Structure 1
Amino acid sequence: MNDLNTDKPISENLFRRLVVRLTAQQLRDLPVDRLPSSIPFDAVDSQTDPAKYAVLNELAWTVGARELERRCEAADRLDSESREALETAEAASARPVAELDRMTERVSRAWANGDFRGDALSESSQTLERGRARAGEIAEQVGRLHRALALLDRPWVADGPLLERISAARQHARAVLHSLEGGLGRYELLEVDITQGDMRARQAQCDLELSRFRELDEKIEIVEEKLRRPRQMLRRLISPRVARQEREYLLQRLDTLIRRRDSIESFVSEDDLMHWLDVLVNASLHVPKDQWRQRAQRTRLLLYRLMNVYCLQQEMAAHQLALRATPGVNAEQAIGYYLKSERFILSYFARKRQEVTLWLSGAADEKLGRLDMVRDAILADYRRNAQRSRHDAPVRSKGAPRPEQAGLDIGAGDREAATR
């Protein structure tokens, strides 16, 4: 209990320990200006220890009067924005972190034993949903505290007691913020693990669908090649009637194959990419840099592969657009319009910068630096792998782009890294 020998305010956790150790009279004798801003009534049972419970009631009234006096003092000397920042900092509490940590631990154990999300009513699924809701609430509180500290860190011209109060509020808010961001980071690393599992499953699904697409594309190319044969050659080999029937059959066959190829649904949507990027970026804002790099490395490789799938889809769409002879757009231009993966990444991070700036206001600089670090890391991954894929890829002069030309065939080393 060495903390009682200082002039610092008593924290709520310390006060709870004092309630257990001190008598009712000793609690009543504690200095009013040292008491926490909120008296925890649940620290004692009113039935088993009515005397201490009565003292807690008395102290609550005393603290309430003290806080009202402080608010009146602040109202006289501070503008409304500064007063609100001061009260936000003083009222900050790290209490939600313990609950989020328990949820994170339970979900992490369940996830280690297999994907439990097939049953939305399972205890683990419901714990995950509650954890996501609680993490959202903590993120909002983190934003409020960052904004409050940005105001309280300005130079102040005030008398001693008010300056001491502002200094104590800053110190308290930073300690709470450290705990909140630690709990949030631990939870968001779990989300990275869960998302990595989702991305591996999507990659496996894409491999199967792209194999179907490749097979159909090759069949289409064979039929198109037969249709390009000079008609005179066919007429020399077979009768005109048989040649006409053969051509009609090939046209019908081509139409069937194209419809089958075009019926393959979108493998990766823009919403998918946005969600995966959000998970990676949100974790980076609260997790130490080295820890984030190590944990997110495999997820970033999967992101690169799946972004290539997304870009391939756009390239396929551009090819079909060109075949419809859209006025003023040739195939090369159309593909150029669709295949803009780097622009997608840059556009995402531009929007994310706006969100972070609104979230943290004047305290956003450090987080924006983190954001730039993540953007540069993801772009470097993409450019390095894309350059290697272009160097290794075969060139195809006609028809829709082959999937392997977009760097979608995962080599043995990459596949091992992506599935570890």
Structure 2
Amino acid sequence: MDSKPQIPLEVFRKMIETLPPEELAKLPPEKLPENIPVDLVEEAPIYSRSALESLILAANSYHLQKRLDLQERYGEEVLAALDRTKTLYNTATLRVFRNKLSDMQKIRARWHQSHDEKKRDLLIDSVRHMQGQVLDVRAENAGITQAIRLLQGTRPQQESDREIFANAIAELKKGSEFIERKLAEFFLLRLEVLNVEMQLRYREVLAFEEEAAILDQEIESLRQKLERSQTIWKRTFQRSKSNHEMEELQSLIASLVAEKQNKEAAVSENDLTLWLDTIVDASVHPFTRDRIDKVIGNARRALFYLLTKYCQLQEASAMQIARNPFLQVDAKAAIRYLLMSEQFILDYFAKRKSRNAAWISDAAQVKMEDLERLEQDILSELKKSSRFQRLK
């Protein structure tokens, strides 16, 4: 943290190998790097070890005193902000994220080469399980941004401290941008991969619709037959026989409804939230938004369709319950799903704007108007799609 240029560790290693002991002893302790590894002494020539031990001891003493002086002048928070420069690229969080990103990029390369569906599915699954790591990395970068702003808002009490702060701020900004670029790599990869997943789900839903129409006809036919049986029961005294027939019809209807539900290409709220995150992150991040033209159109169209289908499936479920009240499902809850479809989008973006304020970094300024514009686009497309489906 000293304002004077320090000797890089690798350069210091070479100096240990080449300089005689008397020359090593002349090196100024303040120019040596902090946290010198102990193995340097063990690796040094025997004739230089004594001089090296004394030099490292003096360097450690110097850096410790500098830390104590800074702590006394500015407090623990500022000292912690300065210390962030030491681990910028090698925290456990970032290391795990980078390793997983590298693994997924390798799987993608093999998938592109082989067109193997197993590799594709493995990649989709891997990307879907990265949400926790993304949140951790964003939280870490938010901490770096807070450190930058703390140092920027701290007035140096000594001229030598001014350069220490300036160097630390520059390093922190560089590290923050590095993290944002790694996140951008992941956002592009995730958009590519989950666009494939959305297209697959889109085709599954389309394929199901024809089969669903046939099942709906069978269910409707049985429902009408059930209504006739109930009418006959009211007109006759064959109550036992009518009850038996009605129970059989109810069982058949329930069985067909279950069959239809089992075959549905389900679209869950978790799916929609993940797909929205994928599109929003890639659309608003400054390092990705100009690089997604080839993919984003298809991804958004698939998302709009699947959003509409989500509403339709909930509506169809509610209608089925209304016509067949003996099915043990909460009708009010099912109907509410449809009424809350637009609210789902509004709630998502409300949470997203709140999270965005917490995640913001100087390296990735995402404007609120970008989120609001994207929100309106999605709501508009959802409404258009819903109107179209109702008119069919």
Q: TM-score if structure 2 supplies the norm length? A: 0.70
1:377 aligns with 2:374: yes
- What's the CA shift string for 1:301-337, capped at 9, x where partnerless? 22212111211122123324544789xxxx9998466
RMSD of aligned C-alpha atoms?
Answer: 4.9
| Conserved 8 A contact 2:226-2:249 | no
Per-residue deviation at 1:23?
5.6
Per-residue deviation at 1:380?
0.6
Relative to 1, partners in 2 of residues 1:307 and 1:178: Cα closer, same or farther, differing over 3 Å? same
Distance 2:251 2:271 in 1: 31
Distance 1:391 1:252 in 2: 38
Alignment of 1:318-337 (within 5 A): 318-323=318-323, 335=335
Distance 1:85 1:16 in 2: 25
Which amino acid in the other structure matches residue 187 of structure 2? E
Percent identical: 21
Per-residue deviation at 1:73?
1.4
1:25 aligns with 2:25: no
Name the structure 2 match of 1:83.
Answer: 79
1:171 aligns with 2:170: yes
Distance 2:126 2:274 in 1: 20
Distance 1:282 1:349 in 2: 12
Distance 1:272 1:312 in 2: 16
Instruction: Tell me the number of residue pairs that the alignment of Structure 1 and Structure 2 aligns.
Output: 366
Name the structure 1 match of 2:61.
Answer: 65
2:287 aligned counterpart, secondary structure? coil
- What's the CA shift string for 1:199-236, capped at 9, x where partnerless? 2222222223333222222344456567889x99x9xx
2:290 aligned counterpart, secondary structure? helix
| Conserved 8 A contact 2:138-2:359 | no
Which amino acid in the other structure matches residue 167 of structure 1? A
Per-residue deviation at 1:173?
0.5
Relative to 1, partners in 2 of residues 1:357 and 1:377: Cα closer, same or farther, differing over 3 Å? closer
| Conserved 8 A contact 2:151-2:165 | yes
| Conserved 8 A contact 1:220-1:257 | yes
Name the structure 1 match of 2:387.
Answer: 390
Per-residue deviation at 1:368?
5.3
Give unmatched runs, 5+ long, in structure 1.
1-6, 235-239, 395-404, 406-420
| Conserved 8 A contact 1:94-1:176 | yes
Name the structure 2 match of 1:261.
Answer: 257
2:291 aligned counterpart, secondary structure? helix
| Conserved 8 A contact 2:191-2:279 | yes
Alignment of 1:380-419 (within 5 A): 380-384=377-381, 386-387=383-384, 390-391=387-388, 393-394=390-391
Distance 2:370 2:286 in 1: 13
Relative to 1, partners in 2 of residues 1:67 and 1:258: Cα closer, same or farther, differing over 3 Å? same
Name the structure 2 match of 1:408.
Answer: none
Name the structure 2 match of 1:310.
Answer: 310
Alignment of 1:9-408 (within 5 A): 9=5, 15-16=9-10, 19=13, 24-25=18-19, 28=24, 32-39=29-36, 50=45, 61=57, 63-88=59-84, 90-95=85-90, 96=95, 99=99, 102-112=102-112, 113=114, 114-116=116-118, 138-154=137-153, 156=155, 158-221=157-220, 256-257=252-253, 259-263=255-259, 264-265=261-262, 267-283=266-282, 284-285=284-285, 287-292=287-292, 294-323=294-323, 335=335, 338-359=338-359, 367=365, 369=367, 373-374=370-371, 376-384=373-381, 386-387=383-384, 390-391=387-388, 393-394=390-391
